[in-house]
Structure 1
Amino acid sequence: MVAAAAYGVVARPRLLTWGATHAEATGDWPGDDLVPGYASGSTMATTLPGPPERVWPWLVQMGCNRGGWYSFDRLDNAGRPSADRIVARWQGLKEGQRLAAVPDGGVWFTAALVEPERTLVLRMSVELPSGHPFDARFGPLSGGYTDSVWGFHLRRTAENGTRLVVRTRGRSRPRWLTRPLDLVLWEPVHLIMQLRQFRNLRARVSGEPRVRDEATAAR
């Protein structure tokens, strides 16, 4: 009981704000209003060794069957290595475009906000227990669902690097089921996957940018 209380009061808040300053963790970010009455969320951050215009191309090509997610590819990209170079044909991301969350494309993120070199907010809305995506504008057909955003916010630092702040917000039903899963499974998994993504993005941004053209990428 004491351990659980200590985790809830001390450890968990730190895990949910890993790397973020107080201002970053408590501030408002674009896309927060997409999930009103959110029941779960996190704000994690890191500093990348390059300006936003160098970070942005890596972010907009994310997605299965695209650049991957730069995390643990065995878990979130069917073992396919995430891109180690910028691919020209994946750079024109538009709001409303779908980015496959799984290799077969059966579940996806929607690009909800796209502000080049500044803000990218992805949204996923799925019914439970089927896992079928639904249009968040109209709501789920069933009583169970999860609706969440995953936002990437780039801000230039004084040293011409990039402060990358990643904000999540989510709501789900039924809470008697989804709340324990958030605490025991999804929050720890998100922390581990997000830190891995930070690490891999840092390695890519610090390297010499390589670009593949349309013809090369299609091979």
Structure 2
Amino acid sequence: MVLIAGAVAAGAAAVGYQRFLRQPIMNWGATDDEVAATLPGDELLSEADGVSTRAITIEAKPEHVYPWLAQMGPMPRGGAYTYDWIENLLGLNMHSTDVVLEEFQHPAVGETIGLGPNKMVIEIAEPGHAFASRSSDGNWVWAFTLTDCGDGTTRLISRNRFRLPRVRDRIGMLPMEPGSLVMERKMLFGIKARAEHLAAMEKQSPVAELATTASSET
């Protein structure tokens, strides 16, 4: 009886999550139009088992946002601007920087970025517009779109598309989805703070541009 009751409770929780919680978790910060939109990188994994679309408004232009995307990745790259200690528990060697690293400002299509055992291959690198990478096994695409709002602000949209070929992958993804929101929300706020500080410093001293130190407050 205990096992049956536990199974029923687990099933009810799963149904409740799917019906009431999954959409706001997977689409945090994004408008309905952004969730429905076809974005750069979607074509890299057209048949996805799951999609998340999360977004944030940044009080800076796209050219102040893109540098932080271009340099993302483990050391010696710029980190992921989220909870480094959590990422490093997984052995990812992430150390989020508060400065723009000029040596990583020109990522090329085909270049690989280490992210654990499954390398990410850069597929789109369009300064001020879009950046996307795909896992070497083809089951995950992480794409960023920058939309210039025309008033000095930018909408930064982060979209994950993933394929879950095994049953255990599908089951394991359920607890990972809320966790991914915690990490990605921190990342988006981290990029926002850095881009806004970069824009403010450029206004104060245009010659500083990308060499300035950005705020670490998120």
Same fold, judged at TM 0.5 (above): yes
- Stretch moving more, 153-162 or 4-13: 4-13
Match of 2:195 in 1: 205
Report which of the two has the higher share of helix: 2
The one of 96, 99, 108 aligned to 1:94: 108
Which amino acid is 1:23 matched to? D
The one of 150, 163, 173 aligned to 2:142: 150
Give identity over the alignment, percent: 31
Match of 1:31 in 2: 41
1:75 Cα deviation (Å)?
2.4
Match of 1:82 in 2: 96
Q: Does 1:119 align with 2:130?
A: yes
Segments of 5+ residues of structure 2 without an aligned counterpart are 1-10, 202-208, 213-218
- Stretch moving more, 70-79 or 114-123: 70-79
Secondary structure of the corresponding residue to residue 84 of structure 1: coil
Contact 2:64-2:196 at 8 Å conserved across structures: no
1:76 Cα deviation (Å)?
2.3
Which amino acid is 1:201 matched to? I
In structure 2, do the counterparts of structure 1 residues 181 and 72 end up closer, same or farther at CA, with 3 Å as the change threshold? same
For the pair shown, the structure with the greater C-alpha radius of gyration is 2
Contact 2:123-2:132 at 8 Å conserved across structures: yes
Segments of 5+ residues of structure 1 without an aligned counterpart are 127-135, 137-146, 214-219
Secondary structure of the corresponding residue to residue 80 of structure 2: coil
Match of 2:79 in 1: 68
Q: Distance in 1 between matches of 2:58 and 2:134?
A: 24
Report which of the two has the higher share of strand: 1
Q: Does 1:49 align with 2:63?
A: no
Contact 2:80-2:95 at 8 Å conserved across structures: no
Match of 1:194 in 2: 184
- Cα deviation 1:67-121 (Å, max 9, x = unaligned): 011111112255653110111111110111111214xxx4321111111110101
What value does the CA root-mean-square deviation take over the aligned residues?
A: 1.9
Secondary structure of the corresponding residue to residue 150 of structure 1: strand
1:50 Cα deviation (Å)?
0.4
1:182 Cα deviation (Å)?
1.0
In structure 2, do the counterparts of structure 1 residues 163 and 178 end up closer, same or farther at CA, with 3 Å as the change threshold? same
Q: Distance in 2 between matches of 1:80 and 1:5?
A: 35
TM-score (norm 2): 0.80
Match of 1:161 in 2: 153
Secondary structure of the corresponding residue to residue 207 of structure 1: helix
Match of 1:178 in 2: 169
Q: Distance in 2 between matches of 1:183 and 1:43?
A: 16
